[in-house]
């Protein structure tokens, strides 16, 4: 009977950036400036207009609302999220291409445009936070312009909630695969979640013996989900996708076989100037980021981390 091993899971994947609130404010200023340019309305005039439309929130509250506040707006029976298309129309300009922009942000060397490309670059995300499989980092800016290699998904769809179409924490940089698969469907956990979500997902694998497996066909990836995040996996079809990554597990296992504890000690002894400790050797071997705040830098980093954790929990000389 195959033994099941599992590591400790986390969200797929949480967006970590210490400057999120600052970026949300820059986003807000650009929108406020664009409203003044298009409608000739000041912030106070805009807020008064919202009240007349039955929207009990200010412009700042709508644009910078974090996930719990976004949910509050959605659930508020007094707020009709479909009554206003202002932000949905602005989003079309904001995300159209790298040459279109909203508002203006002044920098040291003059004026810089602000659009979806600017937002994605400022977040510094390299891997899709919904699947942690596909890279979404931008192409380089050239004299011919620049193009986003990712798409923006609305956690709350702009067709159902046009009022939130430009809300900073409602805009999630994702790969085209996740964006098209999700479409207007709802998922339950946002990568911008403020909650502790370390326990929601667990990756592991089934295998008869850590020592005897000689091909990836003998390994089966195991995904265990907390009920609160099951919708994410079902809507995006992630479980079936991750079951195809038994080759990643086998590759990690093979490295552990060759670079076991004895071998790692030899490397530290013979190449002390190259490796400072055992963890630096593992990072060189697996290219993995142990800190969850860096999961957005490498594809499948969450899976890799969990598999490494599960292997190291085994009483084996592989370690």
Per-residue pLDDT for 11 more than 70?
no
Per-residue pLDDT for 33 more than 60?
yes
Does the pTM of the predicted model rise above 0.85? no
pLDDT band at 79 (very low <50, low <70, confident <90, very high): very high
| pLDDT reported for residue 165 | 97
> pLDDT tens digits, residue range 177-220?
889 888 888 888 888 987 655 567 778 888 766 667 788 888 88
Q: Residue 107's beta-bridge partner residues?
A: 110
40: Cα within 13 Å, side-chain hemisphere: 0
pLDDT band at 307 (very low <50, low <70, confident <90, very high): confident
Tell me the C-alpha to C-alpha distance, in Å, between residue 176 and each of 3, 135, 198: 36, 10, 26
Per-residue pLDDT for 262 more than 60?
yes
Which token pair is 230? 């099951």
Per-residue pLDDT for 48 more than 90?
yes
Which token pair is 158? 């702009």
Q: Report the pLDDT averaged over residues 9-25.
A: 78
| pLDDT reported for residue 5 | 42
> Which of 149-158, 190-199, 305-314 is the least confident region?
190-199
Provide, rounded to the nearest whole percent, the portion of the chain with pLDDT above 70.
81
In the block, tokens 């079936």 appear at 240
Rg (CA), the chain: 23
Q: For residues 307 and 75, which has the higher predicted lDDT (pLDDT)?
A: 75
Q: By C-alpha distance, which of 105, 81, 83, 98 is closest to 32?
A: 105
b/e burial code for range 222-253 (CB count within 10 A of at least 16 → b)? bbebeeebbebbebbebeebbeebbebbbebb
Per-residue pLDDT for 318 more than 70?
no
> pLDDT tens digits, residue range 264-298?
888 888 886 788 888 788 888 887 666 666 777 77
Per DSSP bridges, beta strands 151-154 and 110-112 are unpaired
What is the C-alpha separation between 279 and 275, in angstroms, rounded? Answer: 9
Q: By C-alpha distance, which of 7, 125, 315, 267 is closest to 283?
A: 267
């Amino acid at each position: 009977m195959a033994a099941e091993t599992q590591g400790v899971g986390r969200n797929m994947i949480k967006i970590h950036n210490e400057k999120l609130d600052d970026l949300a404010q820059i986003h807000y200023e650009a929108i406020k400036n664009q409203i003044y340019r298009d409608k000739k309305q000041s912030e106070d005039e805009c807020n008064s207009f919202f009240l007349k439309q039955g929207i009990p929130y200010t412009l700042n509250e709508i644009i910078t609302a974090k996930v719990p506040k976004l949910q509050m707006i959605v659930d508020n029976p007094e707020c009709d999220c479909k009554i206003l298309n202002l932000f949905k129309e602005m989003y079309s300009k904001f995300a159209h291409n790298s040459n279109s922009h909203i508002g203006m942000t002044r920098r040291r060397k003059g004026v810089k445009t602000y659009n979806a490309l600017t937002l994605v670059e400022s977040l510094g995300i390299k891997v899709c936070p919904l699947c942690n499989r596909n890279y979404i980092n931008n192409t380089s800016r050239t004299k011919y312009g620049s193009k986003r290699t990712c798409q923006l998904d609305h956690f709350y769809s702009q067709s159902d909630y046009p009022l939130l179409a430009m809300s900073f924490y409602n805009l999630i940089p994702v790969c085209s695969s996740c964006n098209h698969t999700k479409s207007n469907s709802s998922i339950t956990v946002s990568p911008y979640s403020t909650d502790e979500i370390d326990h929601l997902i667990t990756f592991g694998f089934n295998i008869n013996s850590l020592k005897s497996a000689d091909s990836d066909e003998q390994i089966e990836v195991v995904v265990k989900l907390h009920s609160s995040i099951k919708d994410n996996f079902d809507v995006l079809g992630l479980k079936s996708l991750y079951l195809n990554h038994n080759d990643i597990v086998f590759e990690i296992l093979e490295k552990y076989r060759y670079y076991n504890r004895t071998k790692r000690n030899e490397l530290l002894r013979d190449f002390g100037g190259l490796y400072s400790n055992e963890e630096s050797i593992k990072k060189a071997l697996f290219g993995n980021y142990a800190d969850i705040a860096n999961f957005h830098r490498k594809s499948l980093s969450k899976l890799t981390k969990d598999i490494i954790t599960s292997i190291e929990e085994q009483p084996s000389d592989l370690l």
